[in-house]
Amino acid sequence: MPHGLNVSAIREDFPILQQMIHGKPLVYLDSAATSQKPEAVIRAMDTYYRTTNANIHRGVYQLAEQATEQYEGARRKIQKFINAKSHREVIYARNATEALNLVAYSWGRANIHAGDEIVATVLEHHANIVPWQMLAKEKNACLNFIGADEHGELRGEEIETRITPKTKLVAVTMASNVAGTLTPLKSIVERAHAVGALCVVDAAQAVPHMPVDVQALDCDFLAFSGHKMLGPFVGILYGKRALLEKMEPFLGGGDMIREVHLEYSKWNELPWKFEAGTPAIAEAIGLGTAVDYLTALGMENVRAHEREIVAYALDKIRAVDGIQVLGPRAPDQRVGVIAFSIPEAHPHDVAQIMDGEGICVRAGHHCAMPLHEYYGLAATTRASFYVYNSPEEVDKLVETIRKVQQVFKT
């Protein structure tokens, strides 16, 4: 595979990949759920706890100042990674779900009113559907959805017809966690802005896998998860500064305040206005190290590797008779996620047989029940790839798919 990544060398950086599962070499194909962590990330978090463990911002002693410097230094790395204008536009959250809920609570409850429209797509993860359902119900607003074709690609004409002058917010995934679809995000953002709406992007399956430039996209908000990009369990919300400045806090308590009196409080400046209480300090530092690791690999190289391995996997899986594969046919139109259905076998049975071969795949609806209903499927099996996966692991996956078919052959 002629890309810029040395997969064999990369695999040596991941301690967990060196083990055996049921006596077989571990084949980890569930990075869309959570990625594995390189030694550098594990070591950075361990070093913080061993040498720098202190709370941030308030302390004036050396440990506290070092912890603060590392925590805020990680924020600036993330700012550069997604090309935000300012570190003040980068907010730590518990995960991408919390980041999206922050937008729904702090922006949505102040700006969505009765009769307004919110538009999402059928490709969305539950995290980019449920908050808008709750908001629409509370505000008596209307929630509409852009449909997709049989290949999991959004219907272009519906982008125009669903996003109307009544639309106040468009919520869209950058890459589907089931179909793998890369959405036409630039045109969706432009259409939203043309009617005066804002656009919030779920980029949990995109930021880890390709270069993402929030200024070029011109999206208003963008959420992603550290644990899907070689980092620990922490989330990020990007928001345009002018919008964040006007928004009320999501949570109240320590560190998000400037002054507290019995009668009233004044809020801290960005980004800390949205970071109440003691944050996940070690996790933020770990995410900063993960950003360093991915930056050293080069996100163009990460994307090239993914295109090549997903092309190889699609060819191999589609060559197996009777397998239904969701998503676009062209590798360039998708990320490294392949959800498939073996008609004679339930996905949980498939995953169990895979586990016996040391292969980790996901079975179920993948927090995307509406999309499965859209295609008339109760569940699918999902294999997802990342920088440490090889063609040989794809071969093992396909070999086991054939074994599943033999087991359930009638």
Q: How far apart are CA 342 and CA 409, in angstroms?
A: 11
14, 113, 145, 207, 381 from 283: Cα distances, Å: 18, 37, 35, 17, 30
Q: How far apart are CA 290 and CA 144, in angstroms?
A: 37
Residue owning tokens 């959420």: 223
| Dihedral in degrees, nearest 10, Cα atoms 83, 191, 135, 33 | -50
33, 94, 106, 126, 249 from 101: Cα distances, Å: 19, 11, 8, 11, 12
Tokens in use for 366?
Answer: 């993948």
Q: How far apart are CA 66 and CA 52, in angstroms?
A: 7
Tokens in use for 49?
Answer: 């706890």
Cβ 18 vs Cβ 320: under 8 Å: no
> Using alpha carbons only, what angle is made at residue 90 by residues 230 and 386, rounded to the nearest 5 degrees?
20
For the chain, the 3-state helix, strand and coil shares in percent, each to the nearest 5, are 45, 20, 40
Q: How far apart are CA 231 and CA 223, in angstroms?
A: 15
Q: Positive or negative, the Cα torsion across 120, 122, 123, 127?
A: positive
Spatial CB neighbours of 142, under 8 Å, sequence gap ≥ 6: 115, 116, 117, 118, 136, 166
Catalytic residue numbers read 367
Q: How far is it between the farthest Cα atoms of the chain?
A: 73
Q: Positive or negative, the Cα torsion across 152, 153, 155, 158?
A: positive
Q: Could you report how far apart the first and last alpha carbons of the chain are, in Å?
A: 38
Q: How far apart are CA 242 and CA 269, in angstroms?
A: 12
